[in-house]
């Protein structure tokens, strides 16, 4: 069962300002804002939802491939993914664009100022969901607006079950567009904030949206997650992390766990726990693709976290 993961591939440049923004941004001068921050710490990480999900799915032993548009600067990232057995067949280079990039500056209070350049991601619609390529599960994650709309429609036309993961792309769409995504989706995954926004934008309560799909998954950070499926609300506990270092990418790791469970026919109680543990493993590491484990290590962590075998 191969998953085609439509979403972004991006670079994340993370900078740390060894001070506090509030000490340099004066509320009565915001209309004349002109500030500069010295950032002695700079890390450039590989990221993007499609890349993160594919990386985590490969760790679990699942089968998946990202479908994305990238720029002329993608070579190092591409080599990184190939070395980790991620199939890049459906990644297309846009020669005169940069790969999507986020520039994130964090202060000592963990406040963030982010600038995002979409670059090649804006051309995601030039990719089409292929037919006859052995794709048995689709994912539409945050990407270019037109690409998300078209890929969801293409999965539906091909009869391929779809996981809709709107993430930070959710505000790009109005209520009717979001309802169209839900109508085409087999499963929907959101965090608790996104779930509230989805209900507000569509005017449809989450309980009703859950009845329109096979499962609606709502993650709640340290409080675990809830899976609405088969007329039930299945509570999934949060797996305890070894340490809390960086939450960036935890949602993508969780979604890789969902995909793995769907690919292997696991029940929702087990699938949710696999996803929860993936998030816990990721949060203990800086960056979105720096964690590692073997199959046996994951099984041991699973038993320790939930008191049952995987």
Rounded CA separation 211/185 (Å): 12
Phi, psi of 225 (to 5 degrees): -150, 165
| pLDDT score at 107 | 84
Rounded CA separation 222/225 (Å): 9
> What percentage of the chain has pLDDT greater than the value 90?
81
Q: What is the CA radius of gyration of the chain?
A: 19
Rounded CA separation 120/227 (Å): 34
| pLDDT score at 22 | 84
Q: Can you read off the two tokens belonging to residue 79?
A: 């080599």
Non-local (6+) Cβ contacts of 274 within 8 A are: 60, 257, 260, 261, 266, 302, 310
Rounded CA separation 9/12 (Å): 10
| pLDDT score at 300 | 97
| pLDDT score at 128 | 97
Domains and CATH numbers, the chain: 2-8+48-99+120-306 (3.40.1190.20)
Q: Can you read off the two tokens belonging to residue 183?
A: 């109508």
Neighbours of 116 (CB within 10 A): 15
Mean pLDDT for each consecutive 10-residue tract of the chain (310 residues)? Answer: 94 90 78 82 92 97 96 98 96 98 86 90 97 91 97 97 96 97 98 96 97 98 95 96 90 97 97 98 94 96 95
The pTM of the full predicted model, rounded to 2 decimals, is 0.93
| pLDDT score at 114 | 86
| pLDDT score at 58 | 97
């Amino acid at each position: 069962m191969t998953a085609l993961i439509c979403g972004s591939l991006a670079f994340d440049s993370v900078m740390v300002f060894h001070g506090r923004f509030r000490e340099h941004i004066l509320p009565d001068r915001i209309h004349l804002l002109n500030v500069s921050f010295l950032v002695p710490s700079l890390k450039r990480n590989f990221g993007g939802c499609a890349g993160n999900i594919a990386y985590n799915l490969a760790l679990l032993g699942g089968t998946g491939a990202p479908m994305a548009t990238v720029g002329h600067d993608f070579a190092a990232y591409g080599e990184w993914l190939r070395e980790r057995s991620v199939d890049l067949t459906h990644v297309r280079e846009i020669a005169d664009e940069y790969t999507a990039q986020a520039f994130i500056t964090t202060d000592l209070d963990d406040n963030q100022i982010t600038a995002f350049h979409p670059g090649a991601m804006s051309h995601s619609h030039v990719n089409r969901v292929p037919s006859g390529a052995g794709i048995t599960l689709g994912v539409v994650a945050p990407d270019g607006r037109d690409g998300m709309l078209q890929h969801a429609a293409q999965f539906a036309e091909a009869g391929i079950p779809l996981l809709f993961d709107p993430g930070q792309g959710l505000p790009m769409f109005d209520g009717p567009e979001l309802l169209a995504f839900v109508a085409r989706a087999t499963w929907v995954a959101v965090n608790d904030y996104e779930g509230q926004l989805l209900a507000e934008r569509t005017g449809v309560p989450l309980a009703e949206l859950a009845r329109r799909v096979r499962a609606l998954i709502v993650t709640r950070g340290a409080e675990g997650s809830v899976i609405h499926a088969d007329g039930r609300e299945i509570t999934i506990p949060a797996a305890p992390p070894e340490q809390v270092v960086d939450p960036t990418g935890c949602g993508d790791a969780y979604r890789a766990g969902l995909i793995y469970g769907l690919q292997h026919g696991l029940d929702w109680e087990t699938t949710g726990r696999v996803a929860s543990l993936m998030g816990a493993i990721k949060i203990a590491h800086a960056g979105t693709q720096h964690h590692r484990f073997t199959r046996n290590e994951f099984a041991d962590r699973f038993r320790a976290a939930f008191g049952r075998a995987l």
